Amino acid sequence: MDYNGRYNAFDLSRVNTYPLNARSNKVTLDDLVRPENLDDITFNLPVGICGDIENIARAIISCRDAGKPVVVFTGAHLIKNGLGPLLAEMVKRKIVSLVAGNCATAIHDFELALIGQTSENVPDALSKGRFGMAREFAYINYAVSVGDKKKLGLGESLGRTICEEDYRREVLASAPEGDLPDSFAHPDVSLLAACYENNVPFTIHVGIGTDVIDQHPSFDGGAKGGCSGRDFLIYTNEIAGLTNGGVVLNIGSAVTGPEVLLKAVSIAANTGSIPNGILTADFDLREDVSRASMCRGHPARDSRAGRPRHDGKPSIQSDESSQGYYFRDQKSVVTRIPRSFAGKGFYIQGNQKQTFPLLYKKTMQLLQQKGVEQ
């Protein structure tokens, strides 16, 4: 990136890189959870959570049958936890109409597609000045630069890189290093590839300076922002389709997912596409802070006058003295958005290695009961 301003900027050409396959990784193909492996999982979740998950699964199938949007925004840990193949299968079956994630989500998926491993040992690499310095991260930057020139979204740019040989050749031709691999060893485990091959958008919502690809000489903030900006508009267009209901899931994204959803909902409502009667669900490990406050003798307060509420429905929208006010996923996804539009919000507390496979299993069981071939 060129800079012509008055201040001193770091010169990324000083950075040293190394081959990705020389890195120690924590996740390999053996760690992935595939649909055929579900019988090996023992589910240990509270009855209430299991019931909520089944209700969400029923809503997903109902919306699928009615052609309503089913949107999944996921953080990177779904990929790192090996759950990408389950979401990819939902994409292939057209159960999900759009997948979204932050840039780390795409990076982990891209690594799996490229070498079948992901999740760098950060403490070990950081102390050696090697964290995020695998040279193959430039592959993503060049793919995004080509995508920006073509006015594509970021997810589509990476999906085409994995799936289309001609596009990949164009990306490689733009790489001055000339030492990037010309094929992907494991595209079959890639969520990016599954979305692109099945014409389901995978939108990627980024920050600048937040991702390992930003550490490389190939980093182009304009291209990254441009492609992600287009993805935001693709995402917003899907949210604008929630006028007759639909489902929005937020899986393990504490900030980006809730904030992107909030802005997309605002745009949709502003332009007359009110997201009526939607079901939202937030999947996270954290204790339900709104209920925790009630249990500890701190009842939620009425937003109109700061008075304690006694209707059994805790509000975390306006009580700035409550810790729940500052957790955007619970505040926006579970409470603020569905309540604003006569919808219903769920908070699914638990390890996503348990909760998401159970949602997948319940959804597939419901499909089977409807006579759809599993």
Domains of the chain plus CATH, in order, are: 17-24+45-286+327-369 (3.40.910.10)
pLDDT of residue 309: 38
Q: Does residue 79 contact residue 219 with C-beta atoms inside 8 Å?
A: no
Q: Is there a contact between 102 and 76 (Cβ–Cβ < 8 Å)?
A: yes
248: DSSP letter = E
pLDDT by residue, tens only, the chain of 374 residues: 888 999 999 999 999 998 998 888 999 999 999 999 998 999 999 999 999 999 999 999 999 999 999 999 999 999 999 999 999 999 999 999 999 999 999 999 999 999 999 998 898 899 999 999 898 999 999 999 999 999 999 999 999 999 999 999 999 999 886 778 899 999 999 999 999 999 999 999 999 999 999 999 999 999 999 999 999 999 999 999 999 999 999 999 999 999 999 999 999 999 999 999 999 999 999 887 665 544 444 444 433 333 333 344 445 555 666 776 678 888 899 999 999 999 999 999 999 999 999 999 999 999 988 875 44
Q: Identify the DSSP state of 332.
A: I
pTM above 0.85, yes or no: yes
Nearest Cα neighbor of 238 from 73, 356, 86 is 73
Query: pLDDT value at position 14?
Result: 95
- Which H or E run includes 294? helix 289-295
On whether the CB atoms of residues 142 and 218 are closer than 8 A, the answer is: yes
Strands, sheet with 70-74, edge to edge from the N-terminal-most edge strand? 202-205, 98-102, 70-74, 247-251, 279-284, 344-349
Residues 46 and 348: their CA atoms lie apart, in Å, by 10
**Conformation bin of residue 272: beta by default, left when phi > 0, alpha when psi is -120 to 50:** left
CA dihedral sign, ordered 141, 142, 146, 152: negative
Helices 137-149 & 154-163 angle (0-180, nearest 10): 110
In 3D space, the residue among 170, 108, 169, 146 whose CA is nearest the CA of residue 227 turns out to be: 146
Task: Quote the CA–CA distance of 80 and 68 in Å, as a whole number.
Answer: 29
Which three-class secondary structure state does DSSP give residue 126? helix
Q: Which residue has the tokens 């023992």?
A: 42
Closest CA to 154 of 141, 173, 135: 141
Task: Select from 239, 21, 27 the least CA-distant residue to 121.
Answer: 27
What residues are paired with 18 via a beta bridge?
134
Does residue 300 sit in helix, strand or coil? coil
Q: Residue 326: what pLDDT? A: 76
